[in-house]
Amino acid sequence: MSGGLVRVGFDEAGLGPTLGPLVVAGFATRSTKGASRGAGSPSDDLRGPLAAAVGPPGVRDGRLEVGDSKKIHTGSRKLARIERTALATVAWIHGRVPGSVAELLELVGVGEFELAEDRRAPWWAALDEALPITSERGAIEAASAQLAAAARAAGITPLWYRADVVGAARVNRELEAEHAREGTKNTWATHAVLRMAKLALDEIDARRFAVWCDKAGGRQAYLEPLHRAFPEPSAGGGSVTLERIGERRDLSCYELSLSGADAREVELGFVMGGDRLDPRISWASILAKYLRELILRAFNRYFIARVPSLRATAGYPQDAKRFIAEVEAALGRELGLEREQWIRSL
Q: How many other CB atoms are found less than 10 A from the CB of residue 218?
A: 8
User: How many CB atoms neighbour CB 261 within 10 A?
Assistant: 6
Name 134's Cβ contacts closer than 8 Å, sequence gap at least 6.
77, 79, 80, 83
Cα distance from N-terminal residue to C-terminal residue, the chain: 43
Lowest mean pLDDT among 6-10, 75-79, 242-246: 75-79
- Structure confidence at residue 261 (pLDDT): 76
* Helix 78-94 vs helix 279-306: crossing angle, to nearest 10: 120
d(CA 147, CA 80): 18
> For the domain 5-297, what is the CATH superfamily, name and number?
Ribonuclease H-like superfamily/Ribonuclease H (3.30.420.10)
Give the pLDDT of residue 38: 55
| Angular region, 110: left φ>0, alpha ψ -120 to 50, beta rest | beta
Residue 166: pLDDT above 80?
yes
- Does position 275 have pLDDT exceeding 90, yes or no? no
Is pLDDT above 70 for 151? yes
The rounded mean pLDDT for the chain is 93
Which of 296, 298, 299, 291 shows the shortest CA–CA distance to 128? 298
19-74 residue pLDDT tens: 999 999 999 999 987 554 555 678 888 999 999 999 999 999 999 999 988 899 98
Delimit the domains of the chain by residue range: 5-297
